[in-house]
Structure 1
Amino acid sequence: MKIAQIAPLAESCPPRLYGGTERIVSYLTEELVRQGHQVTLFASGDSITSAELVPCSKMALRLDHSVKDMTPHHVMMLDQVARRADEFDVLHFHIDHLHYPLMRPYFDRIVTTLHGRLDLPDLMPFYSAFPEPPLVSISNAQRRPMPPVNWLGTILHGLPADLLTFRKASSGDYFAFLGRISPEKGPDKAIEIAAQAGVSLKIAAKIDAADQRYWDQVIAPMVAAHPNVEFIGEINEFQKADFLGNARALLFPICWPEPFGLVMIEAMACGTPVIALAHGSVPEVIDHGVSGFVVNSIEEAAAAAKSVGTLERQAIRKRFEHRFTAGRMARNYLAAYHRLPALRQRKRLDVIALPANEGAIRMPMASASLEISAASAG
């Protein structure tokens, strides 16, 4: 199958440091190539991929200080995609909604994965005006605020199985917080949970310019006031395995409708349990009492922190391998692609050969049932 993956240009694929969407685009692209598909990746020029790379900016726009507005760069990328659209069986977009007017002639072969929150007021009239494009959500919780649209399914994120090393035991006596310093991510709550539990906390996070005041006025004073809290700063992919794998638990005390929360499955890949507040996707990702604890307050989180030692790290890793690998994610996307009108109209479809230990996906899909995710694909 000839597949175009269209990534945001804010980060490279994969990102050098923080970045969720571009990381998933990279994992999906590499796995589709591994499974024998012809993949073209439209992304920043500093991306690294085994697919054909179409560089649509010199480098990740977030790292290019000469860039003040990312929109023109994405419009130029869409022009390149439109010029080559007829070359592809599937056009898979990861840039939210900018492409819809331009791609109307190709609605039978496009799919858009929505990676962000969907409860923003401006999105309701937009998606009411564009109900036709096929969409994929990354959790069922993410899609709840939306008007009726053309959902292909919910496909949970996945990581390469060998990306992060499994640790049978943690060697560090600390809790981990990994992500962004922003109010919705709850770094203040993480500090409170660690303090109540009497455990050290290490914070590895980036600080966006928009959140600098929040850091200066709220989090930095809390870090200074708690000698058991260490701020590490932004870390890269190679540092994650040690940071997460050696932690007693990952704290994920979000206070917003998180669409997915990639760091949760990164921790699970290391065998590290997750303590998370029950917002957004959390109850879909964490198996309570197996891969972590889903709680409703700081007090419940602090109590759960004392029980993380009762969870088996091997069982956590097995849940990751069963639900959240890149191989599983790619197979679910292939199933979704075959639901697109352009592919369903074919008289015969290819048999997609997979390694012997993974079986094979056989098409056509006209009468076959789809396993889109552990969540409902309705």
Structure 2
Amino acid sequence: MGILADGGLVATIRRDGPRPADHGGRRTGRWHCDPWMGANMMWPTAGFIDQPGHRPIARSMATVPPLRIAILGHFRHAIAEPFQGGLEAHTALLADELTRRGHDVTLLAKEGSVTAARLRPIVPAGFHYGPLPGETIDRSEMMADAALLEAIHEVEDEVDVVLNNSLSKVPYLHLADRPMLTALHTPASLERVVEVIAATDWRPGHRHVWAGVSRTTSRDWARWLPDVRCITNGIDLARWAPRPDVTARPQHAVWSGRITPEKGLVLAIEAAQLAGWSLSISGPVADPVYFAEQIAPRLDEKIRYVGHLRHTELPAFLQSGSVYLFTPMWPEPFGLALVEALAGGTPAAVLPQGAVAEIVGRRGGVIAAGCTAVDLAAALPRAAELDRRAVAASVAGFSKTAMVSAYEQVLAEIATVDSDLIPVPVSAPSRSHERTTDREKESPCR
């Protein structure tokens, strides 16, 4: 039994026990985070009796005893610099920091990953995700799922808790009896996972919880999952802090990220050209055909591609711009690259997509009025006028320390709770089949 700030109660019941009385309050199945109250802070409502005026006490950041943790990584790319994207960087940071805090961490990831934790390779370094040349059937995901399941069986008796940072359906199907925290890095449109949890006979594990990386992502998945919390992403702020030896170039924009259609690089180039600005681009070419057909022909003396930079090189690159362009063409779950740019003091001009408003806030940049290159071009000079010190300060709460502590607390909570105790099933997910329509309302750039 837990206690709210004003004396209200939080109940847990045994699986075979009765539900508590309603007490006249409204129950909700959501967990929310509020980065403006301090990033990475969890304000839980799931399992709380939510009456007018009640506000839960924030969870304690007390010292957590050593845990044996298995982190399930994504199999498409090795967890190594230069990172292919935010998911790989997030996985690396969690594995390293939890290990440094004294936990016994095993990272299940692609061969070639570099980590302070113990590495258990899932697939070989040469594993190719997607159909092989000449094949019409993609068997890579089935092969990777089988390899992940085998790796899980090898280590499951040696760990106390699982941190699922993969995008696989395997943990939803085969770890029902294990305490597991799943980090939700995508909108609720991950088909291979949604098809599992949408099945009428699927039930979540009684010690499973989920954490969206933003409020937007948490709300999206709460339609399908019963206990969705929120832990915002964090970075090593010292690494990305403003550098006195770097001067921003006037009327010069920068862009970084995986070069794929959904990242909107074409629109960023068009906006820079309309505004009369130069643009430097960094990131891995994840879609070579897209790069060859859509990006390479647009490169010239003012629009330059500088390659895939390492994290040690990115801070100076990002801070050389007067403005950072962030152009997701999908419901952006968080935007780790955006936080990295803002942490260095580079203001952003962004599309109105997904969770970007949670990151940019009022001081970090300018949200374009619409989703066209014209809209983004209009936001460029406005963003350039922002105070760079205020921009850097706007993301001071998104620290790796707070993020890792939040994950650590939830892992300890589910690892140590009596296996016969579960949170009150306060609100079943709606499993609405109109989720796509809802996402379109939240994310106008499609």
Q: TM-score, normalised by structure 2?
A: 0.68
| Aligned pairs (5 A) from 1:1-378 | 1-59=67-125, 61=127, 69-96=140-167, 97-106=169-178, 109-119=179-189, 123-129=193-199, 130-132=202-204, 133-146=208-221, 147-167=223-243, 170-173=247-250, 174-209=252-287, 212=289, 214-224=290-300, 227-288=301-362, 290-297=363-370, 298-322=373-397, 324-340=398-414, 342-345=415-418
Shift of 1:178: 0.9
Q: Distance in 2 between matches of 1:61 and 1:267?
A: 32
Change (3 A) 1:126 1:73: closer
Q: How far, CA to CA, are the matches of 1:23 and 1:125 in structure 2?
A: 27
In structure 2, runs of 5+ residues without a counterpart are: 1-66, 134-138, 424-446
Cα-to-partner distance string for 1:29-87 (whole Å, 9 max, x where unaligned): 11212223222222233222222222333437459x99982542442233222232132
SS of 1:321 mapped into structure 2: coil
SS of match in other structure, 2:312: helix
Cα distance in 2 for partners of 1:123, 1:7 equals 15
Q: In the alignment, residue 239 of structure 2 is paired with which amino acid?
A: L
Cα deviation 1:264-283 (Å, max 9, x = unaligned): 01112222111111111111
CA deviation string 1:280-301 (max 9, x = no partner): 111111113x111122333343
Q: Deviations over 1:200-243 (max 9, x none)?
A: 0112233334x61x33333333335xx42112232222221221
Q: Distance in 2 between matches of 1:18 and 1:267?
A: 17
Contact residue 152 and residue 339 of structure 1 kept, 8 A: no
Separation in 2, partners of 1:126, 1:54: 26
CA distance in 1 between counterparts of 2:387 and 2:102 reads: 36
Distance between the aligned counterparts of 1:171 and 1:236, measured in 2? 20
User: Hey, what's the Cα distance between the residues in 1 that align with 2:166 and 2:384?
Assistant: 40
- CA RMSD in angstroms comes to 2.8
- Alpha carbons of 1:208 and 1:47: their partners in 2 closer, same or farther (altered >3 Å)? closer
The amino acid that maps onto 2:247 is S
1:46–1:60 Cα contact (<8 Å) kept: no
Following superposition, the deviation at residue 319 of structure 1 comes to 2.7
Identity of aligned residues (%): 26
Q: 1:2–1:39: 8 Å Cα contact kept in structure 2?
A: yes
- The 1:49–1:216 alpha-carbon spacing in structure 2 relative to 1, beyond 3 Å, is closer
Alpha-carbon separation, structure 1, partners of 2:408 and 2:191: 32
Cα distance, 1:12 vs structure 2: 2.0
Alpha-carbon distance between aligned partners in 1 of 2:158 and 2:394, rounded to the nearest angstrom: 38
Q: 1:105, CA displacement in angstroms?
A: 2.3
Larger helix share, 1 or 2: 1
Aligned residue-pair number: 338
Q: In structure 1, give the amino acid aligned to 2:99.
A: V
Q: Residue 347 of structure 2 contacts residue 383 of structure 2 at CA under 8 Å; is this kept in 1?
A: yes
1:120 and 1:3 map into 2 onto residues whose CA distance is 25
What is the Cα deviation at residue 163 of structure 1? Answer: 2.7
The answer to whether the 8 A contact 2:259-2:291 is kept is: yes
CA deviation after TM superposition for structure 1 residue 190, in Å: 0.8
In 2, the alpha carbon distance for the partners of 1:84 and 1:181 equals 35
Q: Is the contact made by 1:8 and 1:43 (CA closer than 8 Å) also made in structure 2?
A: yes
Where does structure 1 lack aligned partners over 5 or more consecutive residues?
Answer: 347-365, 367-378
Q: Which amino acid aligns with 2:312?
A: F
